[in-house]
Structure 1
Amino acid sequence: MHAVISVSQLQQQFNDPKRVIIDCRHDLSDPQAGRNAYLTSHIKGAQFLHLDEDLAGVLTGKNGRHPLPDPALLAKKLGALGIDAQSHVVAYDASGGPFAARLWFLLRWLGFERCQVLDGGWAAWLQAEGALASGPATVSVQTEFLVQLQPDYMVTADAVLANLSTPQFTVIDARSAERFAGRGETLDPVGGHIPGAKNRFFMLNLDQGYFKSSEQLHQEWRDLMGEIPSTEWVQQCGSGVTACHNLLAMEVAGFKGGRLYAGSWSEWCSDTSRPMVLSSELA
Structure 2
Amino acid sequence: MNDLISINELKKSPQADNILLFDCRSNLKDPEAGRLIYLEAHIPGARYADLNKHLSRLHVPGVTGRHPLPDRNDWINQVQQWGITPQHKVVVYDDVGGAFASRMWWMLRWIGHGNTAVLDGGWQAWLDSSEDGSEDSSEDSSEDSSEISSSQIPEDLPVSGFNYAALDALTLTIEVEDIDASKQVLLDAREQKRFDGEVEPIDPVAGHIPGALCSPGSANLDANGKFKSAAELYEKFAPALTTDQQEVICYCGSGVSATQNILAMRLAGIAEPKLYVGSWSEWIADPARPVAKKSD
TM-score by length of 1: 0.91
Q: What is the CA–CA distance in structure 1 between the aligned matches of 2:15 and 2:267, rounded to whole Å?
A: 26
Query: Corresponding residue for 1:50?
Result: 50
Q: What is the CA–CA distance in structure 2 between the aligned matches of 1:12 and 1:144, rounded to whole Å?
A: 30
Structure 1 residue 231, shift from structure 2 partner: 6.3
Could you tell me which runs of 5 or more consecutive residues in structure 1 were left unpaired when the two chains were aligned: none
Q: What is the CA–CA distance in structure 2 between the aligned matches of 1:265 and 1:24, rounded to whole Å?
A: 22
The equivalences for 1:87-166 within 5 A come to: 87-129=88-130, 130=135, 132-134=137-139, 137-138=145-146, 142=160, 143-150=162-169, 153-160=172-179, 163-164=180-181
CA 1:55 to 1:219, structure 2 compared with 1: closer, same or farther past 3 Å?
same
Q: What is the CA–CA distance in structure 1 between the aligned matches of 2:40 and 2:207, rounded to whole Å?
A: 39
Q: How many residues align?
A: 276
Identity rate, percent: 38
Alpha carbons 1:174, 1:201 under 8 Å: kept: yes
Could you tell me which runs of 5 or more consecutive residues in structure 2 were left unpaired when the two chains were aligned: 147-156
Alpha carbons 2:109, 2:170 under 8 Å: kept: no
Alpha carbons 1:180, 1:193 under 8 Å: kept: yes
TM-score by length of 2: 0.87
Structure 1 residue 247, shift from structure 2 partner: 0.3
Query: Corresponding residue for 1:216?
Result: 232
Alpha carbons 2:4, 2:120 under 8 Å: kept: yes
Structure 1 residue 278, shift from structure 2 partner: 4.0
Structure 1 residue 70, shift from structure 2 partner: 1.4
Query: Corresponding residue for 1:235?
Result: 250
Q: What is the CA–CA distance in structure 1 between the aligned matches of 2:58 and 2:241, rounded to whole Å?
A: 37
Question: What letter matches 2:226 in structure 1?
Answer: Y
Structure 1 residue 151, shift from structure 2 partner: 8.6
Query: Corresponding residue for 1:11?
Result: 11
CA 1:131 to 1:229, structure 2 compared with 1: closer, same or farther past 3 Å?
farther
Q: Secondary structure at the match of 1:60?
A: coil
Q: Secondary structure at the match of 1:39?
A: helix
Q: What is the CA–CA distance in structure 2 between the aligned matches of 1:145 and 1:157, rounded to whole Å?
A: 30
